[in-house]
Amino acid sequence: MINKLLRVTKEELWALVETLTNWIPGRIGSHFRGFILSLVAKSGKRLLVRAYAHVFSPHNLIIGDHCSIGRFSILNCVGTVRMGNYVRMGPNVMITTLNHGFVKGTNIHHQECELQQVTIGDDVWIGGHASILAGINIGNGVVIAAGAVVTKDVPDNAIVGGVPAKILKYRN
């Protein structure tokens, strides 16, 4: 009971910090939010977090150097998100690390959750409104088109797009 109370308290304090820092405008705000996130997450240098981005369970985020999280993006790090260096996100990107169960005969509210890590390599560009689902591995040099839903692993240097995301071509 005490552990649950501590966990919920930490989550609520983090939500308050995110809310308060969203009012700091422009580049100063992006750098400040990155600094604040780096105090909780395992991060490299020069992390930028655009306004209204939300990170659930930031202590499970491992992020490299020179990365940015786009405006209104949601990173659900309950099952750990690992990002390499030079990962850039557009606005409204969604990365999740959990799936809800859907066993017949059990109420949805009482279903078990399955946690799976998401891994993103170096030099990756994630377009706006893209979604990356639990358990996905994204290689180095990948470009994910805006609006793509990534449901399968993506090899190095692939350019993917669509719903579900498919390989369109490779970077030269």
Which residues lie closer than 8 Å to 123 by C-beta, 6 or more apart?
84, 85, 86, 87, 140, 141
* Residue of 132, 6, 10, 1 whose CA lies nearest to 79: 132
Q: Which residue shows structure tokens 């998100």?
A: 81
> Which residues sit opposite 168 in a β-bridge?
none
The answer to whether the CB of 111 falls within 8 A of the CB of 90 is no
Q: How are beta strands 94-95 and 131-132 bridged, if at all?
A: parallel
**109 part of the active site:** no
Query: Taking the CB of residue 101, how many other CB atoms lie within 10 A of it?
Result: 11
The three-state secondary structure class of 42 is strand
Instruction: Report the candidate in 102, 17, 2, 110 with the shortest Cα–Cα distance to residue 55.
Output: 17
Q: Please identify which of the residues 31, 54, 66, 100 carries the catalytic annotation.
A: 100
Q: Which residues are identified as catalytic?
A: 100
